[in-house]
């Protein structure tokens, strides 16, 4: 085999056995091609990890990417190479596929691990802390960069599937050069976007171990201990939201299931209230479908996550099932407004079915008035769902927990650990007050799961039955999501989570204070309920803005959009925008445990500087 390679290493040595070719720091730093050789071997003398990032940084400046193939087995000389499994000889790296024999494959896999982890760390330190949003910024520019241009200068579009194998080094190189520089960075301290936290490193490790062990937590046999880890994590979550500790064997005790995220958890919660609560109210013996879903009413505010309305739609409820009730000045749903809506609906012969509240809304972090809504739900015999995808994490902190008081009174609760539990994507959860509600809704017994089926007894005696998570939720084969949360929770502890969450809230308060103290900024709401701060830049100052007419306000909205785009292009930070009471705001969701007050000050300084550069047609205040 003839190999050509380029290297840009500061340390390490390159040798080509059989050719007498060796390369030293000086030779490599010149980044000249190593002449074609028969085989090539790259050695790093431990501890040598510092060589890897430099390798990436240097080679980024030049090209042919083979540099990151350093050390891959395909480039080792024949005599150094263990005999690979001949069944996989069609591949340049048979050792990475035929892994059955440790002697033939373990060294190669360890090298792959080093290379993969080095690539990951190069991403973190060379890219993720460098820019909040990769470059080029903007949809069209990045699409062109990623897909390239075809004849006629059109974006080429997705390439066909690869037919021939490629060495792993090429793929890592492609990640480094084609993907890594162009991403939204979850790590950058001024990236305060949607709920996009940096993942805890132990969560990443848990994810890796879960993937290596390939447990499918659906039927118990497919993940025997995985099911128990999920059961344990679920117990931690039900404790966290404040449900009573379940007694073993009690089908009415608290339980839950991990999901792909908050959307799926909300979907399943809506399925529960359809299949458990509606039959109870309507005196039905079967889960209602079709026309039996007509006339039901579910109450929530306009701050409710879109997934609630979509779930109701997909579950067959008519469009007017979700009744949006106005919120108070702090974007909170209040019981008196819901009670009034319920009264009207009962008078009209409709059937109030549920209240769907939010604890930590996406837009502002607002928390509905949970205790009074819980009272109302009990009084009116309604199901009470709380979407605490974001705000549920406040329960970690004794200082913040009272902000989500009343959560424990819900029938079902969405929590979403890949938000404020700083988990690697993806992991959400639905927790429920009564375990049997999940089983009653989702229990099925397909023939191919014979032997693990626990039959009808499952719903009544869960501890006597095997724990088959597929019978408690929507999914079939499920990743072992619990492991990363289990490991990272043990690593930082509940106290550690509390510290991280409290620090975000402290930084959010700092931002809100800075806004309140500035004449060219204003926030809505003025006091952030948790760690989301929505604010606007006012080029005309507060007094000047007060006099604006509708055209001027529309221009002010457009100004926020321009500012958002300018910030994105600068790479200095990233904020999303949202609409509150009909006006556009920049939205900072502070879920990065590395973000400091100084970072927030730096972000405001960047915004002010960029505001000078974005084109603002200063519409004069409306006349009297």
* Candidates 26-34, 113-121, 139-147, 257-265; binding stretch for ligand PLP (CB under 6 A): 257-265
Out of 362, 364, 412, 471, name the contact with ligand PLP by CB under 6 A: 362
For ligand PLP, the binding residues in 533-562 under the rule CB under 6 A are none
- Quick one: 131 or 395, whose CB is closer to ligand PLP? 395
Near ligand PLP by CB under 6 A: residue from 93, 416, 437, 453: 416
Tell me phi and psi for residue 312, to 5 degrees.
-60, -40
- Stretch of residues binding ligand PLP (CB under 6 A), selected from 94-102, 355-363, 430-438, 484-492: 355-363
Report, in angstroms and rounded to the nearest whole number, the Rg of the chain calculated over CA atoms: 28
Q: At closest approach, how far in Å is the CB of 501 from ligand PLP?
A: 15
Question: Nearer to ligand PLP by C-beta: 223 or 389?
Answer: 389
Residue 475 has a CB neighbour count (10 Å cut-off) of 18
Q: Report strand pairing: 583-589 vs 574-580.
A: antiparallel
Please report, as residue ranges, which positions from 265 to 324 form the binding site for ligand PLP (by CB under 6 A).
266, 305, 307
Q: In angstroms, what is the minimal distance from the CB of 579 to ligand PLP? A: 15
- Binding status of residue 331 toward ligand PLP by CB under 6 A: no
- DSSP H helices in 69-223: 102-122, 139-147, 168-174, 201-213
Q: In the bound complex, what is the minimum distance in angstroms from residue 479's beta carbon to ligand PLP?
A: 15
SS3 label, residue 624: coil
206, 262, 352, 406: which one binds ligand PLP (CB under 6 A):
262
For 458, the token pair is: 């499952």
Given the rule CB under 6 A, which of 52-60, 142-150, 216-224, 354-362 is the region that contacts ligand PLP? 354-362
Residues 20-49 that bind ligand PLP (CB under 6 A): none
**φ, ψ for residue 133, nearest 5 deg:** -125, 130
Nearest distance, CB of residue 93 and ligand PLP, angstroms: 36
Among 389, 483, 501, 603, binds ligand PLP (CB under 6 A): 389
In the block, tokens 């502002």 appear at 364
Cα dihedral value 528, 530, 532, 538, nearest 10: 10
| Three-state DSSP class for residue 7 | coil
237, 247, 272: which is closest to 463 by C-alpha? 247
* Spatial contact of 352 and 342, defined as CB atoms under 8 Å apart: yes
Minimal distance, residue 258 CB to ligand PLP, in Å: 12
Q: Are strands 574-580 and 191-192 parallel, antiparallel or unpaired?
A: parallel
169 binds ligand PLP, rule: CB under 6 A: no
3-class state of residue 315 by DSSP: coil
Q: To the nearest whole angstrom, how small is the minimum distance from the Cβ of residue 178 to ligand PLP?
A: 26
Stretch that binds ligand PLP, among 282-290, 358-366, 368-376, 513-521 (CB under 6 A): 358-366
Beta carbons within 8 Å of 369's beta carbon, 6+ residues apart: 332, 333, 334, 335, 406
Question: Which region, judged by CB under 6 A, interacts with ligand PLP, from 258-266, 309-317, 436-444, 538-546?
Answer: 258-266
568 is a contact residue toward ligand PLP (CB under 6 A):
no
Question: How far apart are CB 265 and ligand PLP at their closest, in Å?
Answer: 7
How many angstroms separate the Cα of 116 from the Cα of each of 102, 113, 228? 19, 5, 30
Which region among 35-43, 124-132, 260-268, 548-556 touches ligand PLP (by CB under 6 A)?
260-268
Which residues, 419 to 448, sit near ligand PLP by CB under 6 A? 428
In whole angstroms, the minimum distance from the beta carbon of 505 to ligand PLP comes to 17
Task: With beta carbons less than 8 A apart as the criterion, state whether 358 and 368 touch.
Answer: yes
Q: Are 522 and 535 in contact (CB under 8 A)?
A: yes
Number of residues that bind ligand PLP (CB under 6 A): 16
Report the nearest approach of ligand PLP to the CB of residue 427 (Å): 9
Is the Cβ of residue 167 or residue 197 nearer to ligand PLP in the bound state? 197
Distance CA 474, CA 469 (A): 9
What is the distance between the alpha carbons of residues 264 and 269, in angstroms, rounded to a whole number? 9
User: What are φ and ψ of residue 498, in 5° steps?
Assistant: -60, -45
Rounded Cα gap, residues 572 and 112, in angstroms: 33
C-alpha to C-alpha distance for 371 and 161, rounded to whole angstroms: 54
CA pair distance 403, 343, nearest whole angstrom: 28
| Stretch 195-234: interaction string toward ligand PLP, x if CB under 6 A | x---------------------------------------
Q: Which residues contact 78 (CB under 8 A, 6 or more apart)?
A: 39
Opening angle at CA 503, ends 498 and 504, nearest 5: 105
Using the minimum distance from each CB to ligand PLP, give the nearer residue, 117 or 194: 194
Looking at beta carbons only, is 372 or 426 nearer to ligand PLP?
426
Q: Using the rule CB under 6 A, give the single segment among 242-250, 384-392, 429-437, 496-504 that binds ligand PLP.
A: 384-392
Work out whether 390 is an interface residue with ligand PLP (CB under 6 A): yes
Residues that bind ligand PLP (CB under 6 A): 194-195, 261-263, 266, 305, 307, 358, 361-362, 387, 389-390, 416, 428
């Amino acid at each position: 085999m003839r190999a050509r390679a380029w290297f840009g290493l500061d340390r390490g040595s390159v040798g080509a056995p059989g050719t007498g070719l060796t390369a030293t720091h000086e030779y490599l730093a010149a980044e000249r091609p190593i002449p074609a050789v028969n085989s090539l071997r790259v050695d790093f003398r431990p501890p040598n990890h510092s060589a890897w990032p430099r390798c990436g940084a240097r080679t980024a400046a030049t090209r042919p990417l083979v540099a990151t193939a350093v050390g891959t087995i395909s480039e080792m000389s024949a005599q150094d190479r263990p005999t690979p499994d001949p069944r996989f000889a069609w591949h340049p790296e048979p050792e990475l596929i035929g892994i059955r024999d440790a002697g033939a494959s373990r060294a190669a896999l360890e090298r792959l691990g080093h290379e993969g982890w080095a690539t990951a760390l190069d991403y973190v330190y060379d890219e993720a802390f460098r820019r909040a949003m990769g470059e080029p910024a903007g949809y069209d520019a990045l699409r062109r960069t990623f897909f390239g241009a075809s004849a006629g200068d059109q974006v080429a579009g997705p390439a066909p599937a690869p037919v021939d194998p490629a060495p792993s080094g090429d793929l890592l190189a492609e990640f480094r050069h084609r993907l890594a520089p162009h991403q939204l960075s979850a790590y950058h301290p001024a990236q305060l976007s949607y709920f996009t936290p940096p993942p805890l490193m132990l969560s990443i490790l848990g994810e890796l171990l879960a993937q290596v062990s390939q447990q499918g937590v659906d039927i118990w046999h497919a993940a025997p201990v995985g099911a128990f880890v999920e059961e344990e994590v679920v117990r931690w979550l039900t404790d966290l939201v404040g449900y009573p500790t379940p007694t073993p064997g009690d089908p009415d005790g608290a339980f839950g299931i991990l999901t792909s995220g908050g959307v799926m958890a909300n979907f399943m919660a809506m399925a529960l209230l359809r299949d458990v609560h509606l039959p109870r109210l309507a005196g039905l013996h079967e889960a209602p479908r079709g026309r039996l879903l007509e006339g039901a009413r579910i109450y929530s505010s306009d701050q409710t996550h879109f997934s609630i309305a979509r779930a109701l739609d997909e579950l067959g409820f008519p469009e007017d099932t979700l009744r949006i009730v106005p919120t108070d000045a702090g974007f909170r749903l209040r019981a008196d407004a819901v009670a009034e809506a319920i009264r009207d609906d009962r008078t009209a012969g409709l059937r109030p079915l549920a209240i769907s509240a939010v604890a930590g809304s996406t837009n502002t972090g607002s928390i509905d008035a949970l205790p009074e809504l819980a009272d109302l739900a009990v009084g009116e015999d309604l199901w009470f769902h709380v979407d605490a995808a974001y705000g549920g994490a406040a329960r970690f902190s004794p200082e913040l927990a009272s902000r989500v008081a009343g959560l424990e009174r819900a029938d079902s609760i969405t929590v979403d650990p890949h938000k404020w539990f700083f988990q690697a994507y993806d992991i959400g959860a639905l927790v429920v007050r009564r375990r049997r509600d999940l089983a009653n809704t989702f229990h099925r017994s397909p023939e191919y799961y014979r032997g693990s089926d626990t039959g009808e007894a499952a719903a009544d005696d869960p501890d006597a039955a095997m724990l088959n998570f597929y019978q408690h939720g929507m999914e079939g084969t499920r990743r072992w999501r619990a492991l990363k949360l289990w490991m990272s929770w043990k690593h930082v502890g509940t106290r550690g989570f509390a510290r991280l969450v409290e620090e975000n809230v402290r930084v959010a308060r700092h931002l809100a204070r800075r806004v309140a103290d500035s004449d060219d900024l204003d926030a809505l709401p003025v006091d952030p309920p948790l760690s989301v701060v929505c604010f606007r830049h006012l080029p005309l100052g507060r007094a000047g803005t007060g006099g604006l007419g509708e055209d001027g306000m529309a221009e002010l909205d457009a100004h926020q959009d321009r500012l958002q785009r300018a910030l994105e292009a600068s790479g200095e930070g990233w904020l999303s925008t949202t609409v509150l009471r009909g006006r556009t705001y920049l939205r900072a969701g502070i879920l990065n445990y590395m973000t400091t007050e100084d970072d927030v000050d730096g972000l405001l300084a960047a915004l002010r500087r960029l505001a000078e550069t974005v084109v603002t047609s200063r519409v004069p205040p409306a006349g009297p």
